[in-house]
Amino acid sequence: MRSELFGTLPDGTSVHRWTLERGGVRVRVLTYGGIIQSAEVPGRSGQRESVALGFDDLRGYLDHPEPYLGALVGRYANRIAGGGFTLDGRTYRLARNNDPNSLHGGTAGFDKHVWEAAEAEHGVRLTRVSPDGEEGYPGRLAVSVTYSLDEAGGLRIAYEATTDAPTVVNLTNHTYWNLAGVRSGNGGAGGHELRIDAARMTPTDGTQIPTGVYEDVEGTRFDFRTARKVGDGIDHNYVLDKGVTERPVEVAELSDPASGRVLSVATTEPGLQLYTADHFAEPLPFAPGDGVALETQHFPDSPNRPQFPSTVLRPGEVYRSETVYGFSVR
């Protein structure tokens, strides 16, 4: 475990990089945005390559914030319709940074702040207090996110948060995975094989807001209950069969037949957003489909959809969420 200076923001704030290494896996995490800069794992040949899209320097993240490469996303991951919600009879207005909706916490979400960092067991613990009213959200939210590696090299991300006023919370990590190796030159992630344990998904309207119903995936291009190629053209939330659980349960597996690398996803969350990165374009140094995001989360627009699992957090309660990305070779 080691920490080093990674760069300096225009206002002079220092950004550090923490390196975690265990079980043959090396992961680098930035204090800026809680970003997973890289995740180096071995393939069938034994060669270790990064499978997480990232930039070599801080400038890359400042110049290209929109893809949220590797970022810790909050206060609310995904979209909230119309940039607002009503809680306990009061309406809150949020930034419409994905017009007409609010996306990933607003214009200056958790991905654009420097977090305090401290060493944790086999990892690093990031903490931050989001003040009442930040990006329009109510309540002073105290957040901690711990990145750690288990004995086999699995990447565990554990989130906790408390509030002093009723609010909504939905945290996730926005890493894009390419199991062939980010610098391998072997093409994008569209040819990877993917399985998701979800018989339903949440269809969306023209602005990518859920319509409020659950739709069966059987017989559609969204059906990944049996592993098949990822393909393209997907940015949708899957309703995981297991629902909300106290402990992480495996819900998905991504594999690259060429390198032999396998990524398993276990989570406590009820949803998984599959995004095939079709909107990557210049000047971003990645092409459409170069990575695939598997974002564990509660559902988009839950604050406006009482039929969805609740994202409300009240004083005296503790928000907890945990996801484990496991690495293996086949």
Helix or strand holding residue 196 (H, E): strand 193-196
Catalytic residues: 174, 295
Give the burial string for 238-276 (b: 16+ CB within 10 Å, else e). bbbebeeeeebbebbbbbbebbebbbbbbbbbbbbbbbb
Neighbouring CB atoms inside 10 A of 119's CB total 12
Q: Are 265 and 172 in contact (CB under 8 A)?
A: no
Could you write out the DSSP letters of every residue in 228-283? EE--S--EEEEE-TT-S-SS-EEEEEEE-TTT-EEEEEEES-SEEEEE--TT--TT
d(CA 80, CA 102): 5
Q: Are 74 and 269 in contact (CB under 8 A)?
A: no
The CA-based angle 170-173-175, given to 5 degrees, is: 150
d(CA 30, CA 41): 18
Tokens of 174: 């926005």
The single-letter code of the amino acid at 320 is R
In eight-state DSSP terms, residue 204 is B
d(CA 229, CA 5): 39
